[in-house]
Amino acid sequence: MAGGHSHGTLPVTAAGQHKNKLRWALALTTGFMAVEVIGALWTGSLALLADAAHMLTDAGGLALALIAIRFAEKPATPQRTYGYVRAEVLSAMANAVVLLVLSIYILYEAYQRFLNPPDILGGPMLVVAVAGLVVNLVSMRLLSSASSESLNVKGAYFEVLSDMLGSLGVIVAALFVMLTGWKLADPIIGAGIGLFIVPRTWILLKQAVHILLEGTPPEVDMALLEKTLLDIKGVRAVHDLHVWTLTSGLDAMTCHLVVDDMTEARQILVAANEAMDEKFGLTHTTIQIEDQALRNAEHPNRF
């Protein structure tokens, strides 16, 4: 039998490549959260105070993402051979749970305000909300490209997105109150924000759980991957084939290839690794080469 690995040390994770953007987003969110608290105390606006609490949740999510990246950068140990890369997935899952809880709170608060619309000082609230919208748009711009590469960053991006919608909702509510005096605009818009957040957060939660359960990456066609291996000259059979995600941007694959001629094992191993890299983007692979004759002798009923 022969085996091969196409990996050495684990590469930098997708989220780790964008940690400076996360730091900037955290600084902007934390700074403006303090401004919103002051604005809420000044105007007596419950909407602004709720949005400040929302930003506090965002700041916590961003901080959690950065902490997870720090853990992921720690080297592997004999006790944790993959290091701490899964910390990023756990962080994304925690963010999703927090967002779901926050969404439920928004819907509950919208219901309460619908029953008892609070007094709102439209002018000052509008000024603070517009400033908050600008801050959130800047943070979203920082995180947008990275959010497609990492679940961890995607979780942070959704935190900022949900707060941007909160600021937008406060602006619309303030305009309605200023122009029409219609206070019910606030709970109606709040409910809309909550309903918008829920499905996107649910998708994030499902993706995190899928990775923790070591499911196949959605972009990998297992049938095509197996066929690609079988099409390599000299390969008789493929078994114990597994593909899973360690963390966003880092997939792994293991398999056994049964061959007729063990003298061609090295060439087959090289061809298999090249095919996995070129066609599926899999570079963290462990491939075991097995002798067909020896396998038949050990397991006469399998082939």
> 251, 243 in Cβ contact below 8 A?
yes
Phi, psi for residue 228 in degrees, rounded to 5: -60, -40
Contact 123, 178 (CB under 8 A): yes
CA–CA dist 162, 160 (Å, integer): 5
Rounded mean pLDDT of 78-82? 78
CA distances from 129 to 29, 33, 247 (A): 13, 11, 36
Q: Which two tokens stand for residue 146?
A: 């990275």
Under a CB-based contact definition with an 8 Å cutoff, are residues 134 and 28 in contact? no
Q: How far apart are CA 121 and CA 116, in angstroms?
A: 16
pLDDT tens, position by position, 100-135: 887 888 788 788 878 887 777 778 888 888 988 898
pLDDT above 70: percentage of residues in the chain: 87
The pLDDT tens digits of the residues spanning 225-241 come to 999 999 999 999 999 99
Tokens of 86: 């899964």
Q: Distance from first CA to last CA of the chain, Å, rounded?
A: 18
Residue 298: pLDDT band by 50, 70, 90 thresholds?
Answer: low
Helix (H) or strand (E) holding 2: strand 2-5
Residue bearing the bigger pLDDT, 208 or 51 = 208
Q: What does pLDDT average to over the chain?
A: 81
